[in-house]
Amino acid sequence: MRTVQRGDVRELMEERNAQLVEVLPRQEYVWAHLPGAVHLPLEELDERAGELDRTRPVVVYGRDETCDLGSRAARRLDGMGFTEVCDYAAGKMDWIAAGLPYEGKAQLVTLVARRDPVLAHPSDPLTQVTDRILADPAGVAVVVDDDGVVLGIVGEKEITGAAPGATAGEAMNDGVLRVPPDAELTELVPRLEAAGELHAVVTRPDGTLVGLYGLGDLREPETEPDLV
């Protein structure tokens, strides 16, 4: 048994016809699962393991790094004698956060969030980023630190109200709405409208940037986005 990362999972799928196995409860699987994944809940694994092909790699996953169901299932399969068992410990939320295709009924912000918003460092002079902000369809820049953690946004309102010589960090709005990659659009859009906000910044649990969602620049989901 070995632990694999997102890139490994894609390689196993594309080059070795790996079997993907989600071991979460059924409602989680119906909500969203990796393409072609089969559903074998952990409590049914012992009796249903025979449904898997022992000649192909098996990639087992749960929800995220805090969920140990995938790791427990991988160890069980390894103990049953499956020759190549892979534990995708980061789980399906790592996959979804990367904007990769999934199956299920979920309509998530990560699939329509812009992956290329204007970025600014908090120490950047505001005058150096103003032209880029005003030229971009979203009309805002996301302010991130050296580690890619989102600190706030700067738009026309912040530019207008900034003091002469201000930096992006001094002018930014640090109260911008932040949402996780698995935020449902059906809930997010009314939330933005009710708050009178045009944008939400999509971030990972560690605060790093996934993308920018704006009510005015909704885009069709990408079919083959780049890994992040």
Question: From first to last of its 228 residues, what are the pLDDT tens digits of the chain?
Answer: 899 999 999 999 999 999 999 999 999 999 999 999 999 999 999 999 999 999 999 999 999 999 999 999 999 999 999 999 999 999 999 998 888 889 999 989 988 899 999 999 999 999 999 999 999 999 999 999 999 999 999 999 999 999 999 999 999 999 999 999 889 998 999 999 998 889 999 998 889 999 999 986 544 444 433 333
Chain centroid, CA 113 distance in Å: 10
Residue ranges per structural domain of the chain: 2-106, 111-214
pTM for this prediction: 0.72
Q: What is the pLDDT of residues 81-102, one digit of tens each?
A: 999 999 999 999 999 888 888 9
Cα–Cα distance measured from residue 29 to residue 34, given in angstroms and rounded to the nearest whole number: 9
Using DSSP bridges, classify how beta strands 199-203 and 209-214 pair: parallel, antiparallel or unpaired: antiparallel
Q: Domain 2-106 is classified in which CATH homologous superfamily? A: Rhodanese-like domain (3.40.250.10)
pLDDT digits (tens, 9 = 90+) for 153-174: 999 999 999 999 999 999 999 9
Of 138, 123, 116, 118, nearest in space to 171 by CA: 123
What CATH number was assigned to the domain covering residues 111-214?
A: 3.10.580.10
Beta sheet of 150-155, edge-to-edge order: 118-120, 140-144, 150-155
Query: In angstroms, rounded to a whole number, what is the distance separating the alpha carbons of residues 49 and 33?
Result: 19
